[in-house]
Amino acid sequence: MSNDQDDPLCLVFIPALVALLYKAEQTKGAPLTEDQVIAIRDHANCVALPYSMAISGEKTRGYPDIVAENCWAEWQSARKQLFCLE
């Protein structure tokens, strides 16, 4: 059995933060502002899971989530792909 140092905890959004932001932007019908993205992140449900479990769940889901600490920049990149902006 591994210890906490070998498998640290990380936050996992349920549902994925990228999915929440995508739905919010579709509903709004316009790009989200940075304040809106941060508010969605701050009010989203998340759990702390061992890193290995988080990676396994991401593989099962089939797409990566965005990192909460860098959500604005990562959302700008993700939305270009999701909304076929480039």
> Distance between CA 54 and CA 13 in Å, rounded?
10
φ/ψ of 79, rounded to 5, equals -65, -30
pLDDT in tens, 51-71: 999 999 999 999 899 999 999
Q: Is 1's pLDDT higher than 70?
A: no
pTM for the structure as a whole: 0.85
Q: Is 86's pLDDT higher than 50?
A: yes
pLDDT in tens, 15-48: 999 999 999 999 999 999 999 999 999 999 999 9
pLDDT confidence tier of residue 3, bands split at 50, 70 and 90: low
Q: Residue ranges of the domains in the chain?
A: 9-82
